[in-house]
Amino acid sequence: MDMRRQHRDGRLDGQTQLLLAVNGLFVMATALSGTYFGIYIWKASNDYFKLGWFTLITHLCMGLTFWIAGNSAKEGNKMILLRLGIAISAVFYALVLLLKGSAVHYIGLLGVVQGVATGLFWLAYNVVYFEATEPDNRDKFNGWSGTIGSLIGIVVPWTSGWLISRIGGERGYRAIFIASACVFVAAILTSFFVRNRRTSGNYHWRWPYRLLRGRDSVWPSVMGALASQGIRESVFGVIIGVLIYVQTGSEMKLGNFMLLTSAVGFASFLCTGKWLKPRWRTRGMLVGAIALIAVILPMFAGFSYATLLAFGLGAALFFPLYILPMTAVVFDLIGKDEESVQRRVEYVVARELALNVGRIVGMAVFMGVIYVSKTPLAMKWLLLAVGSSPLMSWLFMRKVLAAGVRGRRVDVKPKGVV
């Protein structure tokens, strides 16, 4: 069955709009509490290492969930997996509420729950995303997705920070955790309007390994690029918010930081999604990658709210140039021909496994560095080293980007696979 529809005007139909709504609600629920969960653990432990363990366990379980649940996504109902992922995310915050201040002593359990929940949701979401979009509207969908995420980032974390500051302490955190659980329920209800498209064939468990061994395939390079992307994601996702809190001692300041950077990200995603054409992806991604490295340099003048804000604003401005070409090209490759479309679940699993390998490597490096030294200088060099990984992504992807998925025959099927 040909899953690729012909919306040559690049419009987004009802199903893609519903998918944007589900994604927006999931992102909103995560932004309500996820931005501050690291602060919650930090305040209870004053220990970067505990945050590192939580994140490392989350990524390990996420990768394992992707691989195991891929069978159900291929041979079962992926919308059930998506709803289960959202429901377990709600359970995660219910556990935090139940454990209260002792949550810091159950980092392992919380990491497992978070990893399983996130893995189930993003596996199902990315397969449905591929099925609901096509090359002609994928850039627009990604642009809208980023725009919605930035709008949420403008309003929601600031609101959470205000609530925590206004209500105070443990009660403030309980309020945002409860609000997150309610929004997750709304996401589940919305997901019932998204169609489940059936897949055919059996799940190929060793597909990621076969992709890596493909001599004439672009996928070893693509997976290298994705792993490089994951290195930056894991470390910066943990450390920046905590650094702002350490410097300011205020959740409200973190909320202000998120408001300002998300406002810039909103405008940037909107413009990039609208004007970045496929033929400009190579140069756009290179400019984005170099800029993401350059914006780290102000922090060498010292960790202060001003230098962290300068980094955040610069990263928000240039991140869409880097990430949109990456995302669009990878999913264009999955839809290159009918054979690859039939293996879309396996390709999504391979994509997510590569990202999680990078996230695990990045977090392992982070934990290794802070085990040896927690000085500001060591932290700065760590951020610069890890933050340079977008350039590695571009180096891996440059030939694929330059050729264009539709410009030449791309071998996406490992030999010996039916």
More confident residue, 238 or 307: 307
Percent of the chain with pLDDT over 70: 93
| Mean pLDDT for all residues in the chain | 86
Q: pLDDT at residue 7 above 60?
A: no
* pLDDT at position 84 over 70: yes
Domain-embedded: residue 41? yes
Q: How far is CA 301 from CA 15, 134, 257, 272, 311, in A?
A: 48, 45, 19, 31, 12
Residue, of 409 and 333, whose pLDDT is higher: 333
Look at 179-183, 197-201, 383-387, 412-416 and tell me which has the smallest mean pLDDT: 412-416
Distance CA 354, CA 222 (A): 9
pLDDT at 109 (0 to 100): 93
Q: Is 365 exposed, middle or buried (0-12, 13-18, 19+ CB in 10 A)?
A: middle
**Considering the domain boundaries, does residue 385 fall inside one?**
yes
Q: How far apart are CA 51 and CA 42, in angstroms?
A: 7
Q: Domain containing 61: what range?
A: 15-195+205-402
CA–CA distance, 257 with 240 (Å, rounded to integer) = 10
Q: What is the pLDDT of residues 115-155, one digit of tens each?
A: 999 999 999 998 888 888 877 777 788 778 888 888 888 88
pLDDT value of position 53: 92
- Select the more confidently predicted residue: 93 or 169: 93
Is a pLDDT exceeding 50 seen at residue 48? Answer: yes
Q: Are 147 and 365 in contact (CB under 8 A)?
A: no
**360 occurs within a structural domain:** yes
On whether residue 8 sits in a domain, the answer given is no
Total number of domains constituting the chain = 1
Radius of gyration of the chain (CA): 20
In a domain, 416, yes or no: no
User: Does residue 379 form part of some domain?
Assistant: yes
Q: Are 273 and 320 in contact (CB under 8 A)?
A: yes
Dmax (CA) of the chain = 62
Between 315 and 167, the more confident residue is 315
pLDDT class of 9 with cuts at 50, 70, 90: low
Query: Does residue 200 lie within any of the structural domains?
Result: no
CA distance 253 to 242: 11
130: domain CATH number is 1.20.1250.20
pLDDT of residue 410: 43
Q: Within a domain: residue 407?
A: no
pLDDT for residue 57: 95
Alpha-carbon gap, residue 231 to 249, rounded angstroms: 28
- Residue 277 pLDDT > 90, yes or no? no
